[in-house]
Structure 1
Amino acid sequence: MDKELAEYISQKYIPTKRCEADAAVIDKYRNVLPSNLIGAWEIVGFSGFDNGLFWLVNPEVYEGVIADWLDGTGLPEDGSYFCIARGAFGDLQILEAKSGAIINISPALGFISLDLSEISKESDLEDKEEIILSWFVMQRKGAYDISLGGKGIFNDAFNRLGHLEHDELYGFEPALTLDGNIKIERLSRVKGIAHLSLLREFSNPVVKNINI
């Protein structure tokens, strides 16, 4: 792993809920995913940051969920899709391993955003390392929040419901995709995988091309 990136992650990615990455999982993905992502797991694990707004995650836990959400979207079926991070409200950051492209799935809002011009490319190892480097450096807290009246609702959700565990989300009940009515009172702490799978049943996700 690049020394400067290792120092950056150690200084900037301070877990507020620490979960170590199992050695067997690291070994499973060591020659599959970019080495600087694996290095980050070795430093901070699959931990939560900023009071649980953003988490690095174990890709194998989300294999079924992302397969369900990408099914029928028209994305290349021969792609290699790995969930590398999630937000408190269920947003999923997906790495397509061949191209290095990052896909964002927003289950709560029912859309998928990506750069369609990038997803069909095949990048070399150096390019993928650069993509992950940029991804770590350019993380924005607001990307994982949900806005209400121009203000993110995460802090209100955190103050009302407390700190999430590694397998939990703040979920709207009923789902936002049914009526779009964002109210803090409708949030609950829910089991993440089960909730994301349930949301897929209520959603026909819209694919948004961010490079237009």
Structure 2
Amino acid sequence: MAFKMDERFEWFLEQFGKPNKHESVSEETLTHFRGKLPDRLLEYWEEYGFCSFKDGLFFIVNPLAYQSTMETWLEDRGIMEEDTYHVIARTGFGDLLLWGEKNGNNYTIEPRRGVIFKKGGDAKRIANGKADEALAGFFAIKSPKSSNLKDVDTDKPIFEQAVEKFGTLAPDEMFTFVPAPFAGGEQTFATVDKVDLFVQLDILAQFSNREIQDIHGLTKLAFGG
């Protein structure tokens, strides 16, 4: 059956541009995730493969490749007991975007901050058989700006400067800050390095608190109280 574009993913592509396919998705992988992840996501996989956008600013990924890393970050946090989660996308700075089979995009792992950020999720729509609609909403709110990070000293976006210095990101690479902000480093272009994605994520998981944080926690950090 021919791929049919939907308005929300069309909007996503207008923001991020044409994807670079890194890996075609096998029938075995599609069969493995059918009934676990939204059908619409599998259709994107069939059409575009596992791919990157804007030199690696955003990736649509194979969850199987990230399973071990995700489990390292979520271990002993009670999250894996509440739902079955899969990494479906990530940013060039190593943020892992999780999709729960019951809850949707309820968590994002943010390695530079050493936290697991809890969102509202989409349990109600998924329970009502609208997982594809929830997934469309996931992509609709993504933008190059929200996937990028700003230099705390200059307020300028960091990713484009990093690509100019280090080159486009490969599927197994990420940009990181040395040292990581949670370890006393600063989120500046001056501290950026290009590193092996999985090695770096495992290192950051070992040295961070892996605290579960939500919007209320961010507000408290920003304004006190």
TM-score (norm 2): 0.82
Gaps of 5+ in 1: none
Matches within 5 A, 1:1-212: 3-5=4-6, 8=10, 12=14, 14-23=17-26, 24-75=28-79, 77-115=81-119, 118=121, 123-124=126-127, 126-149=129-152, 150-210=155-215
Gaps of 5+ in 2: 218-225
CA deviation string 1:154-176 (max 9, x = no partner) = 11111111101111111223333
User: Quick check: 1:2–1:36 contact (8 Å CA) kept in 2?
Assistant: no
Aligned-partner residue type, residue 99 of structure 2 = L
Aligned-partner residue type, residue 10 of structure 2 = Y
User: Quick check: 1:103–1:113 contact (8 Å CA) kept in 2?
Assistant: yes
Q: Distance in 1 between matches of 2:61 and 2:90?
A: 7
Per-residue deviation, 1:9: 7.3
Counting matched residue pairs gives 211
Q: Distance in 1 between matches of 2:150 and 2:55?
A: 18
CA deviation string 1:160-197 (max 9, x = no partner) = 11101111111223333211323323322211111101
For the residue of structure 2 that corresponds to 1:165, the secondary structure is coil
Per-residue deviation, 1:100: 2.0
Q: Distance in 1 between matches of 2:119 and 2:40?
A: 22
Pick which of 103-112 and 50-59 moved more.
Answer: 103-112
Provide closer, same or farther for how the CA distance between residues 193 and 153 of structure 1 changes in structure 2, counting only shifts above 3 A. Answer: same
Q: Distance in 2 between matches of 1:82 and 1:204?
A: 21
Aligned-partner residue type, residue 209 of structure 1 = D
User: Quick check: 2:12–2:139 contact (8 Å CA) kept in 1?
Assistant: no
Provide closer, same or farther for how the CA distance between residues 56 and 11 of structure 1 changes in structure 2, counting only shifts above 3 A. Answer: closer
Q: Distance in 2 between matches of 1:14 and 1:184?
A: 24
Per-residue deviation, 1:137: 1.7
User: Quick check: 1:14–1:49 contact (8 Å CA) kept in 2?
Assistant: yes
Per-residue deviation, 1:75: 2.5
Provide closer, same or farther for how the CA distance between residues 32 and 202 of structure 1 changes in structure 2, counting only shifts above 3 A. Answer: same
CA deviation string 1:26-79 (max 9, x = no partner) = 222122210000011111111110121000000001111111111233425141
Per-residue deviation, 1:126: 2.8
TM-score (norm 1): 0.87
Per-residue deviation, 1:206: 2.6
For the residue of structure 2 that corresponds to 1:82, the secondary structure is strand
Q: Distance in 2 between matches of 1:144 and 1:106?
A: 12
Q: Distance in 2 between matches of 1:11 and 1:93?
A: 18
CA RMSD of aligned residues (A): 2.7
User: Quick check: 1:16–1:52 contact (8 Å CA) kept in 2?
Assistant: no
For the residue of structure 1 that corresponds to 2:182, the secondary structure is helix
Pick which of 107-116 and 151-160 moved more.
Answer: 107-116
